Structure 1
């Protein structure tokens, strides 16, 4: 039960960090690109790769940091809603960039995290 509480606390902390980064979307509104969500998702991908390489996936450290913190940090639902908004606005260029960059660089970020952690 102790681990469950730590996962929950870590998820809460990750959500607070994500909330702070959401202000980048407002600050850089002229970009018409959800930069805060994008940065968080790439950072979360990197951290998950790094944490997996350091701890594996079947222990408390992975559960707390990857499932908890990174789970609270990254946001698939917001990402998909922002993609929908871009399509709704007819901004197909930014839709394509956001889609390709998030998935492409997200995957690369996982690989970099694995590499830097020595896996």
Structure 2
């Protein structure tokens, strides 16, 4: 495979992953807001926390010491594409500023600190879970 073909494969993997991640973000927003009747802040928080768990668990499982052998296209599909399309720092920033513009400083601070803290905790949990899975014996 030529360098150009490899590059095109990576671009396609990221683009397809991003499309699926973006659709998952949209659908989770629909479920959380329209079906469950929760505030849109919950939707943004949800995708950022879940995305943080997914990217760290996948990175750990597919890293040099990981139990899954995934090539560059597969890693980019999930990490840059799907997780990039799913998570949304820009929406979190917008939500925070809307709360600030509305004068709700306590909720803005609570929201921002909570989402960042929960996202980091989810990433840590993803790492711990994937690391434990990496240490399990492989059945042949």
Fold conserved between structures, TM > 0.5? yes
Aligned to 2:57: 50
Structure 2 unmatched runs, 5+: 1-7, 65-70, 133-140
- Between structure 1 and structure 2, the one with the greater Rg is 2
Structure 2 counterpart SS, 1:14? helix
Give distance in 2, aligned partners of 1:19 and 1:115. 29
Provide the rounded CA distance (Å) in 2 between the counterparts of 1:98 and 1:61: 33
Aligned to 2:99: 86
Q: Contact 2:13–2:74 (CA<8 Å) still a contact in 1?
A: no
Alpha-carbon contact 1:47-1:110 (below 8 Å) kept:
yes
TM-score by length of 1: 0.88
Post-superposition shift, 1:64?
0.9
Kindly tell me the number of residue pairs found equivalent between the two proteins. 116
Q: Which runs of 4+ in 1 moved over 3 A?
A: none
Q: How does 1:1-119 map to 2 (within 5 A)?
A: 1-23=8-30, 24-25=32-33, 27-29=37-39, 34-56=41-63, 59-118=72-131
Deviation at 1:2, TM superposition (A): 1.8
Q: Distance in 1 between matches of 2:16 and 2:85?
A: 10
Q: CA RMSD in A?
A: 1.8
Write out per-residue CA displacement over residues 67-119 of structure 1, whole angstroms, 9 at most, x where no aligned residue. 10000000111110000001111112221111111111111111111111116
Offset of residue 7 of structure 1: 1.4
TM-score by length of 2: 0.76
